[in-house]
Structure 1
């Protein structure tokens, strides 16, 4: 199977999670349209059940688990939003969830995860430190890893956003998408480029600790220092053994800012 997630997987994910997520509005922004000089539309994914797009990928990944995996439970490292989404999806499926986070994750996000019945573990000062604990849970307790971005089912779930956007705005010319590990923009780009190849996809990353941008510049996944940033949800590396998102972002995304 190709490392790239394709349109059939994204369409299947859309059907699979239809009753689990909220198709969110796409509305025009008069103020941004005036400033940009072109019509600007916003995808209101903050209205999703857990407050972010992450619920799409997490719901698809949990729904795809077999009975043995469900019995063992799921674990993930997260900067907060994926953990909250996975906790929600796991509770819906009756599956144990352990979310490992660094000390950089804001307390309100930790509390939101705990409120959904998952166990939150604070480990170290980076996503890499948190991932070490996830790896231990997999090796010693038989849990299943559902990472925040570099996972076929997660990417396919996030790609459902792309289908909704091009259907809501048929005249779409350019998509501007936040970029960290690349799961969201990889899924969106795969969906949109398959349906509308001429649409430009632009990724926006924070200036401090932009791991995907550094990796693209190096031509391979590289490690960067994780630094405090206002965009705390974009923190973390892409993994030196990245299987999917690096290649998809490299091949499908037109520009990174």
Structure 2
């Protein structure tokens, strides 16, 4: 089951996907050094001496409507836990590119969008592969203060994680960039769904059956029908 690291796991897998895709495309000759990050846009330094960058920012987390009421209440009238419904979330990301030279930003954004278009689903194999080898993207995801948590547990959730583009209007983009207090950059938004965060807390079980009782009763039958009085 996936735990509290599921949100960070999705971001790390997406970063690793973009990073590997740009490396395999060998863009260093055209745009120079490229950094793949997951920072708030207001923290990104820009300028002629800064490297080109592809940034993936998690700007909103919302409850998933399909899973919101999928389970029974988690506690009974006496306060005992009877179920562990997962916390189902949809993640919304903003993909933004930065470049110091003409067309660098457009080139990076095009490659990034193509990579996400060709990967509409984060498969369990892709999630496990991201954390199976040392990577500059994922080697610091698990801080020492979180023992017993494995980010690759996201691969075991019952529903696949899907990536779909989200088209924002000019007004929505304007409000979003104003809220981030950063200068506007051409961007593309994506919805990533669904992420299930589950708990390993024990659940109260009912008492065992002492005496099994099985009874068969015939169903009621209609003997006759009488016409109604008109």
Normalised by the length of structure 2, the TM-score is 0.30
Normalised by the length of structure 1, the TM-score is 0.28
Tell which structure's C-alpha radius of gyration is larger.
Answer: 2
Structure with more relative contact order (C-alpha pairs < 8 Å, separation 6 or more): 2
- Please state which structure has a larger fraction of its residues in helix: 1
